[in-house]
Amino acid sequence: MHIPEGLIPAQQAAAWYVPAVGFVGAGLVGIKRRLAINPELRPLIGLMGAFVFLISLIPFPVPGLGTVSHPCGTPMAAILLGPLTGTVLGSVALFLQALFFAHGGITSWGANVIAMAVGGSFSAFAVFKVSRRAGLGLGFSAGLAGLIGDLVTYGITSFQIALALHGDEAVLNVWGAAFASFLPTQVPLAIAEALFTAGVVVYIANQRAELLEGAVVRP
């Protein structure tokens, strides 16, 4: 989800920017509207913003493999605040990481936003809603959403890399190989993200259920 500067051709980078900016713009409008109705959401948005920034920046080592990768944080934000708000928080985190932390890039920001902010948020939100409607428990639904949101993020990143660098080979073949190379590192991190997401969502729902009135935790 931190595709570096220069690996994506200029036209593709620009093409990823268009939907990314659209989602972020819609998310900003949504946040403004929701804060006007319920100003008490402000600290929760602040908390999730800090969590997404920290979680998606920490290079998490995988013992035995000798590789590091990043959880996303956007699934948790999407479950608690909705996918458009999760998108905004993820996009801000990715912008700061590109500017000051040598993670990602300015030209690849649009692609990274689509993978981590949009893909991670919307897939997790959809999984969470479907799981809850199917009668699964809050913690299990949140954990499953965290797991899937994390893996979808890296699935999209693999596709973006394949689309940019497939050369003479078929994009789908390169996508499959790239995604397969992510999995040994990413699956343990996705499980960790699932546990963390479930823990935080259940804790907030237990401690301050009123914060989430009208939100997505209680469909």
Q: Which of residues 99-128 bind other proteins (CB under 8 A)?
A: 99-103, 105-107
Q: Taking the complex as a whole, how short is the minimal distance between the CB of residue 62 and other proteins, in angstroms?
A: 8
Q: Which of residues 3-32 bind other proteins (CB under 8 A)?
A: 3-7
Q: Are strands 60-62 and 67-69 parallel, antiparallel or unpaired?
A: antiparallel
Judged by CB under 8 A, the residue of 121, 141, 157, 197 near other proteins is 157
| Residue 121 and residue 90 in contact, taking contact as beta carbons nearer than 8 Å | yes
Torsional sign, CA 94, 10, 24, 1: negative
Tokens of 60: 């998490």
Q: Would you count residue 57 as binding other proteins (CB under 8 A)?
A: yes
Q: Would you count residue 50 as binding other proteins (CB under 8 A)?
A: yes
Q: What is the DSSP string of 77-140?
A: HHHHH-HHHHHHHHHHHHHHHHHHSSSS-STTHHHHIIIIIIIHHHHHHHHHHHHHHTT--HHH
Q: Would you count residue 34 as binding other proteins (CB under 8 A)?
A: no
Cβ proximity to other proteins: between 131 and 152 the closer is 152
What 8-state DSSP symbol labels residue 3? Answer: P
Cβ proximity to other proteins: between 78 and 162 the closer is 162
Please list the residues that pair with 8 across neighbouring strands: none
Q: Taking the complex as a whole, how short is the minimal distance between the CB of residue 3 and other proteins, in angstroms?
A: 6
Q: Would you count residue 181 as binding other proteins (CB under 8 A)?
A: yes
Q: Would you count residue 191 as binding other proteins (CB under 8 A)?
A: no
Q: What is the DSSP string of 27-78?
A: HHHHHHHHHHH-TTHHHHHHHHHHHHHHHTTS-EEETTTTEEE----HHHHH
Q: Would you count residue 44 as binding other proteins (CB under 8 A)?
A: yes
Residues that bind other proteins (CB under 8 A): 1-7, 43-44, 46-47, 49-51, 53-54, 57, 59, 61, 63-70, 96, 98-103, 105-107, 157-158, 161-162, 164-167, 174, 178, 181-182, 185-186, 204, 207-208, 211
